[in-house]
Amino acid sequence: MYLRSDERGPAVSRRLALRLALFGGFAVALFAVLFLRLWLLQVLDGEKYLAEAKNNRTRSFLTSAPRGKILDRNGKVLVANRTSLALQVNPRKLPEDPAERHAELSRLADLTHSSLKRVRRTMHEELKLAPAAPVTLRRDVGHYLVYYLQENQDRFPGVEVQRVFVRAYPDGTLAAHVLGTVGEINEEELKDPRYKGLRPGDEIGQEGAEDTYDRYLRGRPGLTRIQVDALGEPTPNGRLVSKPPTPGDNLKLSIEKEVQEAGEAGLAAKGLPGAFITMDVHTGEILGLGSFPTFEPSLFTRPLTQVQVNETYNNPSAPLTDRAIAGLYPTGSTFKLITAMAALESGVLTPSRSIYDGGAFTVGGESFQNAGGASYGSLTLVPALQVSDDVFFYTLGYEMWDTGQLQHWAHALGIGRPTGIDLPGAVEGLLPTKKWRDELAAEGLAEGRPWSAGDNIQLATGQGDLQTNPLQMAIAYATVANGGAVVTPHVGKEVTDAAGRVLKEFAPPPRRHVKMNPANRDVILEGLHEAAQTPGGTSYEVFGGFPIPVAGKTGTAQRDGHADQSWYIVLAPYPNPKIVTAVTIEEGGFGAESAAPVALDILEAYFHKHATASAGPNGGSPG
Which architecture, in CATH terms, is 59-153+160-253? Alpha-Beta Complex (3.90)
Q: CA 588, 590, 593, 595 torsion: positive or negative?
A: positive
pLDDT: is 35 or 599 the higher one? 599
Task: Please tell me the distance from the alpha carbon of residue 259 to that of residue 605, in angstroms, as a whole number.
Answer: 6
**Class for domain 257-614, per CATH?**
alpha beta
pLDDT for the residue 608? 92
Q: How far is CA 348 from CA 339, 343, 406, in A?
A: 11, 5, 11
pLDDT: is 387 or 365 the higher one? 387
pLDDT for the residue 29? 74
Q: What is the pLDDT of residues 420-461, one digit of tens each?
A: 999 999 999 999 999 998 888 888 776 667 889 999 999 999
Q: Does the pLDDT at position 10 exceed 50?
A: yes
pLDDT: is 72 or 234 the higher one? 72
pLDDT for the residue 309? 67
Q: Does the pLDDT at position 622 exceed 80?
A: no
pLDDT for the residue 467? 97
Q: Which residues contact 559 (CB under 8 A, 6 or more apart)?
A: 329, 330, 565, 586
pLDDT for the residue 619? 46
pLDDT for the residue 225? 65
pLDDT for the residue 132? 55
Average the pLDDT over 134-139 and give the result. 74
Q: How far is CA 234 from CA 61, 132, 223, 229, 263, in A?
A: 13, 17, 16, 6, 56
Task: Please tell me the distance from the alpha carbon of residue 367 to that of residue 4, in angstroms, as a whole number.
Answer: 141
Q: Does the pLDDT at position 620 exceed 60?
A: no
Above pLDDT 70, what percent of the chain? 86
Mean pLDDT of the chain: 87
Q: Does the pLDDT at position 50 exceed 50?
A: yes
pLDDT for the residue 623? 30
Q: What is the pLDDT of residues 95-119, one digit of tens each?
A: 888 888 888 888 888 877 778 888 7
Q: What is the pLDDT of residues 270-317, one digit of tens each?
A: 999 999 999 999 999 999 999 999 999 988 877 666 677 677 778 888
pLDDT for the residue 532? 98
Domain ranges of the chain: 59-153+160-253, 257-614
Q: Does the pLDDT at position 7 exceed 60?
A: no
Residue length of the chain: 623
Average the pLDDT over 154-167 and give the result. 82
551 contacts 525 by C-beta, under 8 angstroms: yes
Q: Does the pLDDT at position 44 exceed 80?
A: no
21 alpha carbon, distance to own chain's centre: 79
pLDDT for the residue 621? 34
420 contacts 492 by C-beta, under 8 angstroms: no
pLDDT band at 175 (very low <50, low <70, confident <90, very high): very high
Q: What is the pLDDT of residues 308-355, one digit of tens each?
A: 767 777 888 899 999 999 999 999 999 999 999 999 999 999 999 999
Beta bridge partners of 496: 250, 502
Q: Which residues contact 465 (CB under 8 A, 6 or more apart)?
A: 430, 432, 437, 455, 458, 459
564 contacts 587 by C-beta, under 8 angstroms: yes
- Burial readout 56-65 (b: 16 or more C-beta within 10 A, e: otherwise): eeebeebebb
Beta bridge partners of 579: 280, 572
Of 186-190, 316-320, 349-353, 509-513, the one with minimum mean pLDDT is: 186-190
